[in-house]
Amino acid sequence: MTSPPTNLLGLDRTELQTYFTSLGEKAFHARQVLQWIYQRGVTDFSEMTDLRLGLRDTLAMQAVVSVPEVASEQVSNDGTRKWLVRLEDGNCVETVFIPEEDRGTLCVSSQVGCMLTCSFCATARQGFSRNLTSSEIIGQVFLANRLLQSAGLGPRPITNVVMMGMGEPLLNYEAVLSAMRLMLDDLSFGLSRRRVTLSTAGVVPGIQRLAQDCPVSLAVSLHAVRDDLRNELVPINRKYPIHQLLEACRHYLENDSRRRITFEYVMLKDVNDSLADARELARLLRPIPAKVNLIPFNAVPGIVYECSSTNAVNRFRDELIALGLTTITRRPRGADIAAACGQLAGQVQDRTRRSSRLAGVA
């Protein structure tokens, strides 16, 4: 039996070098192929004209550059775009592009569904199917880049990537790492580490590994300042409580004093939005180079929380600023097409049966 072709999309530079060496070829072909795929958008080996003809033929037989498909596109009236991306097994994930004056941010999914059960998040209600492969992760960037270029958004429409779509990126560590290395590689998308952000609900061992392997910008979904409340909102807190999480954060940027960790804090009416909460947050974050992103809660069907009032959000923000913390309120983007934080749902073949259990309850 012949083995299935290797998908070269998603192999980072080292992995591609190993691939070429295993074919008995020179490792430097990795550089050529990276540029063809990511900088020129070429997926057909016969067009990779600086490769020897014989090598192009070998690749045509043994490898592919297989990109996921777009199942649908929605454009919000604020310019945000959301794509439903169909994977080979029929599952779908969502990818969101958020244009701003000075940048274009792509929000990328890392898993089909999510294993975590954060009580206010739409993805959590979908249950979990599987991890994405690195090619499916970088494939979202590849696809979005191509679509935005053809929509006339210029040669480099994506200036920032945030791993803030569906899933918990640190529970799909290896694939996310390869994909992020491709985002950073000068022969590929060439983004700086500051412009690639990984957001985590608080997988402490993952934060520690990431600090060693690929210290991109880190965002942490904190959302509560007491363990009893955080256990409810972000149940992985039972495994890695707040003090452990903040300890890992303190060490994350130890070698780089100019950078800061972003703490995300979803504003839930009468749940976590009091002034006492703000003061405790400032106290907890004091030892850490930090900034805070307040996220007004976005409505999710079937979830009972309400968003804090604008007044409460402003009061919370002003208190943090008065206590010396850089704080911004994240403007909800793409809410009309359910593309805002916590609204991504995709089409998940749920293996955990969580979605049907929740439907039964409703």
Residue 100: beta bridge partners? 103
Residue 235, classified by CB atoms within 10 Å of its CB into exposed (0-12), middle (13-18) or buried (19+), is middle
Q: Where would I find the beta strands (DSSP E) of the chain?
A: 6-7, 63-64, 69-75, 81-86, 92-100, 103-107, 111-113, 128-131, 160-163, 196-200, 217-221, 261-267, 290-296, 326-329
| Residue nearer to ligand SAH on the CB measure, 8 or 201 | 201
The dihedral through the CA atoms of 340, 104, 285, 110 has a sign that is positive
Site string (110-149) toward ligand SAH, x via CB under 6 A:
--------x-xx----------------------------
Stretch that binds ligand SAH, among 42-50, 68-76, 196-204, 354-362 (CB under 6 A): 196-204
Residue nearest to ligand SAH (CB): 342
Residues marked active site are found at 94, 341
Which position among 164, 187, 196, 204 is part of the footprint of ligand SAH (CB under 6 A)? 164
Our finding on whether 237 is near ligand SAH (CB under 6 A) is no
| Residue nearer to ligand SAH on the CB measure, 71 or 115 | 115
Instruction: Provide the 10 A C-beta neighbour count for residue 231.
Output: 16
Which position among 145, 199, 262, 272 is part of the footprint of ligand SAH (CB under 6 A)? 199
Q: Which residues contact 243 (CB under 8 A, 6 or more apart)?
A: none
Which amino acid is present at 333? R
Give the C-alpha separation, 81 to 103, whole Å: 14
The site that binds ligand SAH (CB under 6 A) totals a number of residues, namely 17
Our finding on whether 316 is near ligand SAH (CB under 6 A) is no
Our finding on whether 34 is near ligand SAH (CB under 6 A) is no
Which position among 297, 308, 325, 346 is part of the footprint of ligand SAH (CB under 6 A)? 297
Residues in region 253-272 near ligand SAH by CB under 6 A: 264, 266
- The half-sphere exposure of 269 on its side-chain side, counting CA atoms within 13 A, is 10
Which residues sit at the interface with ligand SAH, rule CB under 6 A? 118, 120-121, 164, 168, 199-201, 221, 264, 266, 295, 297-298, 300, 341-342
